[in-house]
Amino acid sequence: VRYKDLAYLSIGEGIGVNLLRGANYRAGIGLAYDMGREHNAATRLAGTGNIDPAPVFKAFAQYAFVPVVLAVDVKQALTSYQGLTADIGAYMPVVASEKIQIFLGPEITFADSRYMQAYFGIKPQNTDAQSHFRNYSAHGGLKHAKFGVAGLYHITDHWLLDADVGIERLLGSAPGSPIVQTPWNWTVAGTINYTF
């Protein structure tokens, strides 16, 4: 749900407000949610320990150099692993009509050592994990690079469909983790939005 260009409420993005906005820029803050990870969600993760769900503070900014839009998101977990991540991306429209808009572009994500160790590291003191995996220390830096396509379809003046497809590749110390089976991943998402 979006209110003009002032605020949003979303399952994927959480809740946020645009504190600064103009003809070719906007910036704001928000509160999102990291679902964490259950060690028993997959047999392969047995013994690695849980990553508790956590609220995440987010600061974001976008600036348009027509036709390219640059975007930066910085996220800090407020509990649990206390990790920090930053997404830097660019996208441009390839279809722009009254009914349909399609954008594509790359994105790169950085993460601090707390985040990387929580999601990709194996702690030496975890004896259960040692029986399945070698000890592994993941360090901060690059996490992954992604290329995505996003499309908007306006059903009415207020209702619209949003669809996203992306492919990403783990980078830095992430693909070397013993829990990683493949460095490649696909993401697909779709939402229905209502704008006031």
pLDDT, tens digit, for every residue of 59-116? 999 999 988 999 999 999 999 888 999 999 999 999 999 999 999 999 999 999 999 9
CB atoms closer than 10 angstroms to residue 51: 19
Burial label for 129, CB within 10 Å (0-12, 13-18, 19+), is buried
Q: How far is it, in rounded angstroms, from Cα 126 to Cα 137?
A: 13
Per-residue DSSP letter, 88: E
Q: Which of the four pLDDT bands, split at 50, 70 and 90, describes residue 145? A: very high
Per-residue DSSP letter, 132: H
Partner residues linked to 23 by β-bridges = none
Q: How far is it, in rounded angstroms, from Cα 108 to Cα 21?
A: 24
Q: For the chain, what's the residue count?
A: 196
Decide if pLDDT at 166 tops 90: yes
Decide if pLDDT at 39 tops 90: no
Instruction: Give 23's Cβ-side CA count (13 Å radius).
Output: 2
Instruction: Tell me the three state secondary structure of residue 129.
Output: helix
Q: Which of the four pLDDT bands, split at 50, 70 and 90, describes residue 5? A: confident
Q: How far is it, in rounded angstroms, from Cα 2 to Cα 36?
A: 26
